[in-house]
Chain A
Amino acid sequence: MKKLPLLLFAVTVLAQWAAPLLQIWKHERTLAQGSVHRLKCTAPDPYDPLRGRYLAVRPEQEESHVDKGLKLVSGQRVYVTLLDGPDGLARLSSVHLTPPESGPYVRMSVRWAGTDGLVHLEWPFDRFYLNEKLAPEADKWFAESIRSSKGVVAEIRVLNGSAVLADLAFDGKPFREILKERVK
């Protein structure tokens, strides 16, 4: 058999493994070494035909002030610093075109830049996947909790601009624990 097809096949196999493995490496590193931040959320509940049931997670804060000289266009990649408040919740602080030298920051894309000095941003995560069995109970829990003044809080890990959604919590209690108690 000719060598070229085998070589091409080997490269294909490598690429097919490398694509998911790189994602795994990047997200495992962020989960292991990233700093923890909490964001207040708002959300509905949809379904993805390929990846199953998920809760749509939408951090409450989706905009930030920008310096007057900074011209941003829709779709542009920016680096946004996170500032933890006294209530333990993180807020978007300042927008940069290059990674800031200090402090935690998240790489986000610009939805649109308003004329009022505000820029509307897109978080790098928007869903929390669930087991099909737990999903109906999770729907109920989410609908009840999201209306409460305490609200649902997303726990994220941040490292070098990469942000991974680690868990959801309500009143300081992890989402899975609450769900397991409710299902009992």
Chain B
Amino acid sequence: MAASSHRWLHEQLPQWEREGLVTAENAEALRRRHAVDDSQPGLAQILMGTLGALLIGTGVIAVIGYNWDDFGRPVRLLFAFFPLLGSQLFSLWVLRRGHAAAAWVRETAALLQTLAVGAAIALVSQIYHLGGDWPDFLFWWALLSLPLLWLLKASAVALFYLGAIALWAVHQCEHGHVWHDSAMLYPLLLLGLLPFWPGWRFDKPLSLSLRWAMTLSSGFGLSAAAYEAVRQHFGKIWGDGESFIWLMVMTVTLLTLVPLRSSALAAPARHKPQVVLGFLFLIGFGLLMTFQEPAEEFVKHLGKAVGIPWALGLLAGNAVFVALALWQKRWALLVVVATAAIPALSLLPGHALAPLTPWLMMAYLFTAGLGLILLEFAGKRGAPRLGAALISLLILARMMESELSLLAKGIAFILIGVGFLVFNLVLGRRRRPAGS
């Protein structure tokens, strides 16, 4: 429960006691159980600290950017190293205080030091008229800031690092020429965030923004790595775009299947952005595979894609994660992830059955949609809205492909929309407790 919810509970308890909703003992037990720790700062305090550090840091960079032509090189270099030294001393002071240092002070110190490092590198390049692309600058800046994540556990630096490595990886597509200078380095860079990885003993619950940042960064960074793996394997990307899409599908399934702790399994969907975005991508992919032309084209390239060493790594990772998902009984997840494997099924008896892919995919998606609805009505944990959405999208896809008139299509769209809304309403009433 968030600190703000604890505070709300404490505000309500006296009123509940007066109304006889809870006894004095129960209220006291609730107060103890959901104690408010006022020594820790609120979100606003952390944000203000971060904003202050950002303003000071960008101010220093802007002052440096002025280019003090009247001073010699040594004096100008001092401009860069003084803020760096100051921020390092501040971080050291925070580090020595350990847990006594408030979270917002830690955030501020880490961010100031990060910005001071960036300013120092920028000034050296300015003084010596060094060229180079800004993503390279960003790469070294992020790497030099990375230990601050471990030491001060600063979310702002984590967000910066995630953004920087993703930007660098995307920029390196077509630019990098050896694996360690290409987007294929991204997975190693991502490992730098281990302290924030759920399940580590010094792990604190990930904030929502950090979860989304991590998912988006991993999505872009690993897709860039897949692109580079295809380019380096075939020597080009032109004509092999389908192989890249296959590697992206494998990447998305891997991210979607990332094992979760049992406590995280029951968390709301917004706490699992990798699952939300993965579902959207895979359902989109599944729908695309119900169209004859793209399905045949993609299936034709599957064999080529699987021959890429990067794909073998992704498949191995997927196999491990699928086993873990089976063990954790994440059925709905497995049903959606299996969409990616359906085109491979049509290849099992040989390429002659490749034209059947759209039919196989359609049958699978329809059955999956129906299954997710029926599970709910059978009293088990299903996903009826997802199931209904899946079936509606399938019907819409077929309508788009059909030769029917615009009028007929329009009426069908309206009917499906009304049906979907009615289903949503029925489901809402069914779930509402009796008497409410």
Q: How far is the CA of A77 from the CA of B184 in the complex (A)?
A: 20
Per-residue contact bits, chain B 123-138, to A (CB 8 Å; 1 contact, 0 not): 1111111110010010
Residues of chain A within 8 A of B247, CB atoms compared? none
A70 — which chain B residues lie within 8 A by C-beta?
none
The residue from B84, B122, B127, B148 contacting A50, defined by CB atoms under 8 A apart: B122
Contact with B along A162-176 (1 / 0, CB 8 A): 001100000000000
* Distance of A20 Cα from B73 Cα, bound (Å): 14
Which residue of the partner chain B has the closest CB to A124? B131
Q: How far is the CB of A36 from chain B (nearest CB, A)?
A: 15
Q: What are the interface flags for A104-143 relative to B under an 8 Å C-beta threshold, 1 for contact and 0 otherwise?
A: 0000000000000000000111111111111000000000
List residues 100-150 of chain B with CB under 8 A from any CB of chain A. Answer: 113, 117-118, 120-131, 134, 137, 140, 144, 147-148, 150
Asked whether any CB of chain A lies closer than 8 Å to the CB of B21, the reply is no
| Stretch in A9-17, A37-45, A92-100, A144-152 with 4+ CB within 8 Å of B | A9-17
* A126 shortest CB reach to chain B, Å: 4
With contacts A51-B125, A127-B129, A129-B126 taken as known, whether A8 is within 8 angstroms of B147 at the C-beta atoms is yes
Cβ of A91 under 8 Å from chain B: no
Query: Binding site of A, secondary structure by majority: helix, strand, loop or mixed?
Result: mixed
Q: Is B270 an interface residue (CB 8 A)?
A: no
In the complex, what residue of chain A is closest to B127 when comparing beta carbons?
A129
Q: Which residue of A lies closest to B67 (CB)?
A: A131
Q: Please name all residues of chain B whose beta carbon is closer than 8 Å to the beta carbon of A12 when the two chains form the complex.
A: 144, 147-148, 151
Residues from chain A with a CB closer than 8 A to the CB of B64 are 51-52
Bound Cα distance A9, B61 (Å):
23
Given known contacts A8-B151, A9-B92, A16-B144, A126 and B126 CB-to-CB distance under 8 angstroms: no
Among B67, B96, B140, B150, the residue within 8 A (CB) of A52 is B67
Interface size class of A (residues with CB under 8 A): 35 or more
Contacts of A178 in B (CB 8 A): none
A35 at the interface (CB under 8 A from B): no
Say whether, besides A16-B88, A50-B61, A51-B122, A27 and B128 are in contact (CB < 8 Å): yes
Contact in complex: A24, B77 (CB < 8 Å): yes
Q: Is the C-beta of A74 less than 8 angstroms from some C-beta in chain B?
A: yes
Q: How far is the CB of A25 from chain B (nearest CB, A)?
A: 11
Residues A75 and B65 in contact in the complex (CB < 8 Å), given A9-B91, A16-B117, A127-B129: no
Task: Flag if A11 contacts B147 (CB, 8 Å).
Answer: yes
Residue of A nearest to B181 (CB): A75
Question: Does B330 make an interface contact (CB < 8 A)?
Answer: no
> Does B98 sit at the interface, judged by CB under 8 A?
yes
B67 with A132: CB separation less than 8 A: yes
Q: Which one of A6, A23, A76, A129 lies within 8 Å of B95 (CB-CB)?
A: A6
Q: Please measure, in the bound complex, the distance between the C-alpha atom of A53 and the C-alpha atom of B140, giving whole angstroms.
A: 22
Which residues from chain B sit less than 8 Å from chain A, CB to CB? 61, 64-69, 77, 80-81, 84, 88, 91-92, 95-96, 98, 113, 117-118, 120-131, 134, 137, 140, 144, 147-148, 150-151, 175-177
- Given contacts A20-B120, A27-B128, could you give 14 more A-B pairs where the C-beta distance is less than 8 Å? A1-B96, A9-B92, A9-B95, A12-B148, A16-B84, A16-B113, A17-B84, A23-B130, A51-B125, A73-B177, A123-B131, A125-B130, A130-B67, A130-B69
